[in-house]
Structure 1
Amino acid sequence: MAMNTSSGTDGVFSFDHRDMMVFILVMSLHGLQSMITELLPEFSIGGLGVSIGPFWFVAMAVVLLFRSFWACLAIPVGGIVFGEILIGDFSALGAIEGLVVITASWFFVMALVTDPSDPKQIAALGFLAKAMEEFAAWLIDVGKFYVGVEELEAIQWLPETVWATEGMGALVQIIVAGIVFGAVPAYFLYPRLRGKIEPLLGMEPLSGRDGPMFDRTAMKRLVAWVLLLPVAFVFETLSETSGGLITFQPQFVETYGQSFLFVPIVIAALLAFGLVFYRQQKTEV
């Protein structure tokens, strides 16, 4: 029987040493590419500021290789650890929205995989996860305006334009991050990683399943995603009004300059490639 992550036989939330390795690998890889893109300039489309990163194809390819809850959770944790804590700009309440929305989106999408050998399906589902994340962020941002914790970025005499203003920003991010720097490169990267990364962690590639993509498991996870959106909204609203509850904000980048971004980049690279090197040495013994 193939040795996979524990999600297959011991329960989807169980955690063992293999889940730990997957968690560390996804967290560090996502943190690495997120910080690399922080060094790239922002550009605008029709007056809307658009950031290139993070390069979502890394998460799309790696997370859908393992398809465990812990791999999904590792994506936002990587952003928090390397993109907030290590650069000295962390707010506990402010981090919860991404933690909830990103994890729930990927956890739902990975239940739709029926043929993990098909890069077209993987790329499409990776895009769906990013689209769900941006759609949820759009609803939350608009909701913050209606409860009065965010300034209106709309025509003063027509507040409803906030839906279009925030929606255009979300749509641009879906196209840029979800397609250009997401699904398209993931389509080519995923088949080159499948069957090569898993053995380094002492696992075998996960198999597919029969039946429709949207089965009972997927339905339950979609319901969970919907129910978690108000939770994410409440915590994000509280973060705007309470000062973040627990904060760590020495602002290292402001103090030492952009070159400080290389600190989390180096740490993430050492963690990711160190884990792969260690496991490679173990498999060769």
Structure 2
Amino acid sequence: MAFILVMSLHGLQSMITELLPEFSIGGLGVSIGPFWFVAMSVVLLFRSFWACLAIPVGGIVFGEILIGDFSALGAVEGLIVVTLSWFFVMSLITDPKNVKQIAALGFLAKAMEETAAWFIDVGKFYIGVEELEAISWLPETVWATEGIGALLQIIIAGVVFGAIPTLFLYPRLRGKIEPLLGMSPLEGRDGPMFTRTSLKRLIAWVALIPVAFAFETLSETSGGLITFTPEFVETYGQAFLFVPIAIAAVISFGLVAYRQRKVDGLQD
């Protein structure tokens, strides 16, 4: 249930932000979304691997498959980087009632995602499978141009539309969402934030970034292996984005309503 809820909510927020225009800062294109505070607030309630996996799966299902722009190999990068970034951060939570800690760790997860994506994009530039902005006689400047773009995304998605709204949304959801799914709110733990479990998950994150890079490179050079590309948005226009938005909304709010009726029935 937690997997379905996180997946559909993230898909919903991702597709809503697809309707918003990009803007540029110093010539660098920056997108607003997705509104990460929804995923941050909900996934941090559960702290399970499956809740973390639901974030990229939501993006794939609603942001790629349902709009007809899916590449199996291209999806692997997000599955690895996003899932492991959040899974590592989950191991650092010691006090789930500490809203500032929760918001800061949500920001850290987004920062790890963007950092990994930065290295992967630059790596693709160096092996010649992607063209990026760089001074022709000094290709090393690609590190700066892509790094600035990643930093802007971290600030906008991780802070403005991430950690700050999470400070207000998370405490209002904690203790209310979990019972609907038949769960009790998770409690904190004693000891340091960084534990042996944290170290193992961080090592896995570092070790699997090259794997994500390899799959992304194969996606650029081999055509994606398994693809589904009817490109509905190009065919029917931006209005088609309301299709995955409607489906995600029905699944997420329908699930909450269904579970609420179940809980009310048990109480009666």
What TM-score do the two structures reach when normalised by structure 1?
0.92
The Cα of 1:150 is off from its aligned counterpart by 1.2
SS in 2 for 1:185: helix
Deviation of 1:146 (Å): 1.2
Aligned to 2:139: 159
Partner of 2:251: 271
* 1:68 counterpart = 2:45: no
Q: Distance in 2 between matches of 1:46 and 1:154?
A: 14
Task: List aligned pairs for 1:86-235, cutoff 5 A.
Answer: 86-235=66-215
Give the partner amino acid of 1:71: A
CA displacement at 1:151 relative to structure 2: 1.7
Shift of 1:162: 0.7
1:236 and 2:236 aligned: no
Separation (CA, whole Å) in 2 of partners of 1:39 and 1:152: 25
Residue 43 of structure 1 corresponds to 23
**Alpha carbon RMSD of aligned pairs, Å?**
0.6
Extract unaligned runs of 5+ from structure 2.
none
Structure 2: distance between partners of 1:249 and 1:258: 16
Q: Which residue of 1 aligns with 2:14?
A: 34
Q: Is the CA contact 1:30–1:75 (under 8 Å) kept in the aligned structure 2?
A: yes
Matched positions, count: 265
Return the alpha-carbon distance in structure 1 between the equivalents of residues 195 and 56 of structure 2.
26
Runs of 4+ that moved beyond 6 A = none
**In the TM superposition, what whole-angstrom CA distance separates every residue of 1:154-194 from its partner, at most 9, and x where no partner exists?**
00000100100110110000000000000000011000000
Distance in 2 separating the partners of 1:58 and 1:282:
24
Q: Which amino acid aligns with 1:99?
A: L
- Relative to the length of structure 2, the TM-score reads 0.98
Which residue, out of 245, 257, 264, partners 1:284?
264
- Whether the 8 Å CA contact 1:29–1:268 is kept in 2: the answer is yes
| CA distance in 1 between partners of 2:102 and 2:26 (Å) | 31
